[in-house]
């Protein structure tokens, strides 16, 4: 086995959903085969039962967590490996909503551990495309205690307290564990999240699936998970600046930056103890490092190992991409 790590691309994992659309094929050009639609494409996943497989180089076909186990800090960073062990800590996906997703909430780490669910789920959305007048649900329109929330559910008044936001391309929403949310029709987002697939459905729009059944709800489980606080603004304002690194989200689980490039940008990660993921939203770029180069298209991502410290990102005409890594606080 090759012992020299290199930037890794991964085979996409396509997910058909009751609310899924066709933009992943029609906009991004990804072929999801015989599926009737594609609601999600997972670009990088460390979930044990749905791990991403490497798509390039000598490690082609290997599972991401096997590589984490083998290379440890050389791949993910010593501090990241000490914190998360052999499971890759982030899950990256693109979501295409052709209909409303369920109104849902995710547990935090403490509650997830208490319930034997592994990690909690904090996440963010970057809107890649939105139809005219598209909207989503983000949090409540007024502060709610858990008792308030329980009473709202009991009285069947949930929709009256949901906060709706109209969205457009390049909008950003940070979704800490505990915040209710739902994507609406006509929206495609890039999602960065903790490695977790735990979702508590609260409301599913009285929808009937192909078997004539309503999907399961998780009302009792959701009550302890709810955070009913209301921020000043649910939307994150992100300056659209060329050829600079612009911070989008900085939380305890991940840092996400926006890069819009014409030409080349050199990156030096010598002071960072982490992997770095580059995820193009528009356009194509080539990633160049000491021992090679690779092209990366919108709808893909590339994982730069911790031991690869200096790279150049070269846009083919124009490229918009997210730069994602972990920056753990020193204990």
Nearest to 128 by CA among 78, 169, 162: 169
The pTM of this model reads 0.96
pLDDT at 330 (0 to 100): 58
pLDDT at 212 (0 to 100): 81
pLDDT at 1 (0 to 100): 44
pLDDT at 213 (0 to 100): 83
Catalytic-residue membership of 115: no
Task: Please say whether the dihedral angle defined by the alpha carbons of residues 273, 255, 113 and 10, taken in this order, is positive or negative.
Answer: negative
pLDDT at 331 (0 to 100): 44
pLDDT at 72 (0 to 100): 97
The sheet carrying 123-130 orders its strands as 13-15, 40-44, 90-97, 187-194, 123-130, 172-175, 235-236
Interatomic CA distance for residues 10 and 21, integer angstroms: 22
Interatomic CA distance for residues 263 and 64, integer angstroms: 31
State which H helix or E strand residue 104 sits in: strand 103-105
Interatomic CA distance for residues 65 and 188, integer angstroms: 28
Segments of the chain scoring below 50 in pLDDT: 1, 331
Catalytic residue among 22, 115, 142, 201: 201
Q: Is 232 exposed, middle or buried (0-12, 13-18, 19+ CB in 10 A)?
A: exposed
Q: Domains in the chain, please, with CATH? A: 13-236 (2.60.120.10), 245-325 (2.60.120.10)
């Amino acid at each position: 086995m090759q012992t020299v790590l290199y930037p890794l691309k991964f085979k996409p994992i396509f997910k058909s959903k009751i609310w899924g659309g066709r933009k992943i094929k029609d906009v991004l050009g990804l072929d999801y085969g015989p599926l009737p639609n594609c609601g999600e494409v997972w670009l990088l996943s460390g979930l044990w039962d749905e791990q991403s497989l490497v798509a390039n180089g000598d490690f082609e076909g290997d599972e991401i967590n096997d590589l984490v186990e083998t290379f440890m800090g050389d791949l993910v960073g010593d501090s990241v490996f000490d914190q998360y062990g052999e499971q890759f800590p982030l899950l990256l996906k693109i979501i295409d909503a052709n209909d409303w997703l369920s109104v849902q909430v995710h547990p935090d780490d403490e509650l997830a551990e208490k319930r034997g669910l592994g990690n909690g789920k904090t996440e963010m959305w970057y809107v890649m495309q939105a139809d005219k007048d598209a909207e989503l649900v983000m949090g409540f329109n007024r502060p709610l205690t858990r008792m308030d929330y329980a009473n709202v559910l009991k009285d069947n008044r949930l929709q009256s307290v949901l906060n709706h936001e109209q969205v457009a391309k390049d909008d950003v929403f940070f979704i800490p564990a505990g915040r209710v949310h739902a994507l609406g029709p006509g929206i495609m987002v890039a999602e960065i999240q903790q490695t977790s697939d735990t979702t508590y459905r609260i409301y599913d729009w009285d929808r009937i699936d192909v078997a004539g059944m309503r999907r399961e709800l998780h009302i009792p489980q959701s009550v302890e998970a709810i955070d009913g606080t209301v921020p000043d603004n649910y939307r994150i304002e992100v300056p659209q600046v060329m050829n600079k690194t612009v911070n989008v989200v900085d939380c305890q689980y991940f840092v996400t930056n926006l890069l819009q490039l014409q030409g080349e940008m050199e990156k030096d990660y010598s002071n960072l103890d982490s992997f770095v993921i580059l995820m193009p939203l528009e356009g194509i770029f080539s990633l160049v490092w000491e021992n090679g180069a690779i092209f990366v298209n919108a709808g893909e991502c590339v994982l730069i190992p911790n031991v690869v410290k200096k790279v150049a990102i070269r846009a083919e005409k124009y490229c918009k991409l997210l730069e994602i890594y972990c920056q753990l606080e020193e204990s």
